[in-house]
Structure 1
């Protein structure tokens, strides 16, 4: 029998900067443009990531 519970020593992986950005921005885009389907909303957010301050590649 396999257990589906996480072990006490395990846990969720920390989200990367990209994952955090996508999570928050995707929610914003879906509110701003409710007519967009998920795929198109995801594309919109991915394009925002390219110039986002949160993107480590844009750090100066």
Structure 2
């Protein structure tokens, strides 16, 4: 039973790390696009898979 709990905890930690890494990748993508002069919220939203509201907060 204890081994099962440990495996589940490790799986949860790996999943969390993947999600955090994914979010960081999205932010980096937005930064690069903005640095290239892209300011269209819809384009940034589609490119990063983030909602337009989140993009608005990030670029303003």
TM-score norm. by structure 2 comes to 0.28
Q: Which has the higher helix share?
A: 2
TM-score norm. by structure 1 comes to 0.28
